[in-house]
Amino acid sequence: MSTGDVRRPSVNKLSAKAVAADGPKPESDELDADEADAAAPAPAPAPKPKTSQPKVATKSSGSRPGGRPPAGRGPAKSGGGKGRKPVTPVKVSQGRNWGPIAMFAGAGLVAVLIIGFGAFQLIKQANQPPWQERAAGIEGISNYLESNPDWFVYDPAVGNHKSGVLTYPSSPPVGGVHNDYWQNCMGDVYPAEIPKEQATHSMEHGAVWIAYHPDLPKDQVDELAGKVRDRGFMLMSPYPGLDKPISVQAWGYQLKVDNAGDGRIDEFIDALRQNATREPQATCSGGITDPGKTPLDLVPPAQPGG
């Protein structure tokens, strides 16, 4: 056996215990071969060869999967500075535009009110008795269609229309033969006398005519005008020689009162306007708008509702 194959004796646990039991060995200037080998420094490891593989970033305690920094931390500045915090976008709260909402709500409310009012009027009319019964219930009203039906019978030789000044059994007249022209009755308030023959034609179309004494106080005239102005199938005018301050008439009916505030005037209008008529489809527009006590004698061109 060669010297290279000789194994050195190893120190096992048992020998270590024996040495400890025998006590410490005296110091010696010379070390045996085993101790010399143990005291010698270990040889430095050989350097590893460099490879061209790219470095793989290791996961730090503050990093997220995929290499993204944690929320609230920005990338580190160059030069070892602190990381810049990302700017958090400011959420702007956009309030509702109340203008269009209020406009549509107001339009809806108006529509509801209009529909509701129309429905109320229809229900009201449906529950009302016939206009003839309502007219008969007005205290002091005169129904000449019942008391004097001959006033409204036309002579076939004469017809419905006649020119010139006509006489009537009642003053103001409530119907009968009348002028070819009708007085405009679309809420017209005439400041002077109008031809009674033309006003009678208006009543035939369904108008209510309010005649008042020329001496009626102005405040009462204004009150009457408020019931007439801008209201279809209505007209009013002064009437000289009237035996009462105010006379309200429709085709075949008449009511005379002392004061413009008398509630029966409104009852008369509500019951008889457009109801007391011989020509329900006739119009009140297109008539004579000028006042004047003399009726027109010229026969006009053919007009509807003559």
Give residue 68's pLDDT band: very low, low, confident or very high (50, 70, 90). low
Q: What is the pLDDT of residues 43-63, one digit of tens each?
A: 555 555 555 555 544 444 444
Q: What is the pLDDT of residues 236-291, one digit of tens each?
A: 999 999 999 999 999 999 999 999 999 999 999 999 999 999 999 999 999 999 98
Cα(91)–Cα(104) distance, integer angstroms: 29
Q: In the prediction, which pLDDT does 245 show?
A: 98
Element (H, E) at 248: strand 246-250
Output phi, psi for 212, to 5 deg. -135, 155
Q: Is the pLDDT of residue 28 over 50?
A: no
* Mean pLDDT within 62-83: 52
Residue 276 or 82, more confident: 276
Q: Of the candidates 47, 71, 67, which has an alpha carbon nearest to the alpha carbon of residue 59?
A: 67
Q: Of the candidates 131, 297, 140, 269, which has an alpha carbon nearest to the alpha carbon of residue 203?
A: 269
What number of residues does the chain have?
306
Q: Sketch the domain layout of the chain as residue ranges.
A: 142-272
Cα(158)–Cα(162) distance, integer angstroms: 7
CATH code for the part of the protein at 142-272: 3.40.30
Q: What is the pLDDT of residues 164-213, one digit of tens each?
A: 999 999 999 999 999 999 999 999 999 999 999 999 999 999 999 999 99
Q: Is the pLDDT of residue 67 over 70?
A: no
Q: In the prediction, which pLDDT does 125 show?
A: 65
Residue 299 or 283, more confident: 283
Q: What is the pLDDT of residues 101-158, one digit of tens each?
A: 888 888 888 889 899 887 876 776 677 899 999 999 999 999 999 999 999 998 887 7
Output phi, psi for 246, to 5 deg. -140, 140
